[in-house]
Amino acid sequence: MRKIGLMIFICLLACSADAFAKRPKTRAPEIKRDEIIYVTEWRYVRVVNLASIAKEFSKWQYGDECAINGGGMAQVLGVVGDKVLLLYVVDDDSFGCANGVMFFVSRQEYLRMKASYEKKLRAEQAEKELVRKILDAKQWSPALKPQRTKGGAR
């Protein structure tokens, strides 16, 4: 009886190991050089520019911290292991880091930033579709209904 139980256990172990070995491996999403995403939230980053970078009354050197803001862009300069080197691109008149600041984020953090950006785009697209749907259906409230004058539109 013990031998039969042991054989069944070995068979189950071998079958589950075989099934595990055949499981498709999930690949980490590829991060491409020069890929650009929009920054959706404010956060501090550590400057890694080799030369100092200035903006108006501020100057940052390697190791300093500054804030990136929603609305700016981040361009992938390269990926090594788990680190993604990004270049911050923003209007010079914005608050926070200067245009051209470089900083590192982890691969996981970059993918989170990208997902946040894509989620924001989908939400904006859904909202635009809702506006179009409402305007196409001409579901105007009486107070907001466009009124025409004798000469046509106002």
134-149 mean pLDDT? 67
pTM: 0.67
Provide the pLDDT confidence category of residue 3 given band limits of 50, 70 and 90.
low
Among candidates 105, 115, 35, 39, which has minimal Cα distance to 71? 39
Rounded to 5°, the CA angle 17-22-26 comes to 115
* Contact (CB, 8 A) for 91 and 55: no
Per-residue model confidence as pLDDT tens digits over 36-76: 999 999 999 999 999 999 888 889 999 999 999 888 999 99
Q: d(Cα 51, Cα 73) in Å, to the nearest integer?
A: 21
The residues that bridge with 58 in the sheet, in sequence order, are 55
Rounded CA-CA distance 138/129 in Å is 14
| Integer Rg of the chain from CA | 27
Structure tokens at 141: 């409230």
Two structure tokens written together for 112:
């989170």
Give me the pLDDT at residue 150, please: 65
Contact between residue 75 and residue 34 where contact means Cβ atoms under 8 Å apart: yes
Domain boundaries defined on the chain: 36-138
- Given a cut of 90, whether residue 28 has pLDDT beyond it is no
Lowest mean pLDDT among 7-11, 45-49, 82-86, 117-121: 7-11
- Residue carrying the six token digits 């999403």: 29
Burial-class residue 86 by CB neighbours within 10 Å (0-12, 13-18, 19+). buried
